Amino acid sequence: MRRWTNGWRWWALWTLVAALYLAVAVSRGLQACPDGLIRDGICRQMLANQTAGRQGLISSVWWGPASTLSVLPGAFVLRDDAAGLGPVAASAWFGAGVLVLLERALRRRGAGAWRLALVAAVGLDPGFVTECTTGSGAPLTIVLIVAATEALVGWLEERRLRDLVVAGLALGILLATGFDAWGWVGAGILVLVVAELRRHRPGVRGERRAVLILGLLPLLYVLGLWLLLCWLIMGDPFYLLRSLSDPGPGPGHGFALPGPVAAWYGGAMVLAVGNALLAVTRRRHGEVALALLVLGLPASAGLLAGRGLLWSPAPLLAALPALLAFSLGRTLVGRRGAGVLGWAFGVGAVAVCLMMTVQQPFNGQAMEGRASAVESMRSLSALERHVDGPARFAKVFVCGYDSFAFLRDGASPTFVHALDFNFDKAKRDYYGHTLFVLVRRPEQRFAMDSVHRKYPSIFIQGGPDTLYDSDWGEWRLFEMIQPLRTR
């Protein structure tokens, strides 16, 4: 009965924290970011049994199916959701999960009441609050990172089979959240493999092989399932990886962070390095592995930044405070003065977060350039009048993932989603129509859309047999030139 009661208290706390984040989102006007609107649009297309929804779910490594499916319950329940409540509720739920799992991980390792200060500092981080209140997919990635880290450390320290299973499942699902997390997943695999290879267990035959199979099988299963779905739906099992080999024009601009925010993440990285050196000197495998996993976040972000593919600090840098709090708490447990140091770190971090919120709060535009898609939706009716004026039978192919935000609210049949656009096929399928192509400016992750890979200069020069028509904010409209026909 005690375990049952504690379980209910755990879920009640999770729900309460999620409700607090949702209340913050409502107080800010409940404005979902384009990331959330796009995923919500994909889910609505899936519920309507449309091909575009199935293609959007699996066709790009940058839009992982796990993050999209996390919005599906909200899209199913809130069929007439116009404000983006579904994705915002999902991000608030997973953001609350980060704090609850972090608190349980610290309590499991003997941290005192000072752990609450560390958890509060993570929950008040302005960047983390922004991700949890705007419908972003980052909170799901962060909660999986925390769960995988806690399970890996638990397996190395206590050798509990449940921890190994949870670690494998968390890493597998994390692989399906998107390419942003793949570098850190590699770090988790490396920690598990090296730890098993260095561990000597004479007399236990086949245990090492069984551990590696059980820990890595979920990743192979998830990746294999993703490739299989891509093969069945797109006709090419490696279609999701094509954007990595040829990212198209202008793979994206580097994100710009305010000075205090950059200093906050810089200080967290310095603290993570110092904690890693301390863990190495103590020679405890769990602490060393945890410190390496913390450093894996900025290392993965650095690799993406080196290729010009890091456009936002979320989810990698946004997950850094949570893992750093876990690592610091694990290091302090059992040391003299742990309570004083824990309260000092926690209260100091809370004060810094509150000061950053007051002086220069995070906003969606600083994080990921999120306002453009929402503003573009306002011109949808004007664009429809524009193409329907000279042509009685007009079709506009809206290319790329941003089309799911652009056409989200019951758009006219004049507009068609086009993720894998082909000019010849469009002319055959819509014979006798006046055809237009609407292409978004190739910036940030939208430059990874397949239309920019297949037609590298389409936004500047247009595609084959197209004529420039007009600009609509971040979008450019081209008319497809066709021979005269009797319509």
- Give residue 435's region: left, alpha or beta (phi > 0; psi -120 to 50): beta
CA distance 96 to 19: 9
Q: List alpha helices for 199-337, DSSP H.
A: 207-234, 242-245, 259-282, 285-306, 320-332
Instruction: State the average pLDDT for the chain.
Output: 85
Q: Residues 54-66: pLDDT tens digits?
A: 999 999 999 999 9
358 class by beta-carbon count within 10 Å (0-12 exposed, 13-18 middle, 19+ buried)? exposed
Nearest to 406 by CA among 384, 388, 389, 434: 384
Judge whether residue 467 has pLDDT over 80: yes
Q: In this predicted structure, what is the pLDDT of residue 218?
A: 95
Residues belonging to the chain: 487
Judge whether residue 277 has pLDDT over 80: yes
Percent over 90 (pLDDT), the chain:
43
- Whether 406 and 380 have beta carbons less than 8 Å apart is answered as yes
pTM: 0.91
Angle at 412 between CA 81 and CA 57, to 5 degrees: 60
Q: Residues 4-26: pLDDT tens digits?
A: 446 678 888 899 999 999 999 98
Q: Residues 117-147: pLDDT tens digits?
A: 999 999 999 889 999 999 999 999 999 999 9
Most confident option among 112-116, 168-172, 441-445: 168-172
CA distance 162 to 41: 36
Nearest to 103 by CA among 75, 122, 89, 85: 122
Q: Domain residue spans in the chain?
A: 16-368, 371-480
Nearest to 324 by CA among 260, 258, 367, 279: 279
Judge whether residue 317 has pLDDT over 80: yes
Confidence of residue 262 (pLDDT cuts 50, 70, 90): confident
Confidence of residue 320 (pLDDT cuts 50, 70, 90): very high
Q: Residues 286-298: pLDDT tens digits?
A: 888 898 999 999 9
CA distance 134 to 131: 6
Q: Crossing angle, helix 320-332 and helix 259-282, to 10 degrees?
A: 40
Judge whether residue 150 has pLDDT over 80: yes
Q: In this predicted structure, what is the pLDDT of residue 360?
A: 54
Average pLDDT over residues 338-364: 75
Judge whether residue 335 has pLDDT over 80: no
Judge whether residue 198 has pLDDT over 90: no
Judge whether residue 374 has pLDDT over 60: no
Q: In what order do the strands lie in the sheet with 466-472?
A: 415-418, 394-399, 434-440, 475-480, 466-472
Judge whether residue 321 has pLDDT over 50: yes
Percent over 70 (pLDDT), the chain:
87
Judge whether residue 363 has pLDDT over 90: no
CA distance 183 to 187: 7
- Whether 334 and 278 have beta carbons less than 8 Å apart is answered as no
| DSSP, residue by residue, 415-469 | EEEESS--HHHHHHHTTTSEEEEEEE---GGGGGSHHHHHSTTHHHH--TTEEEE
Q: In this predicted structure, what is the pLDDT of residue 410?
A: 60
Q: In this predicted structure, what is the pLDDT of residue 249?
A: 47
Judge whether residue 411 has pLDDT over 80: no
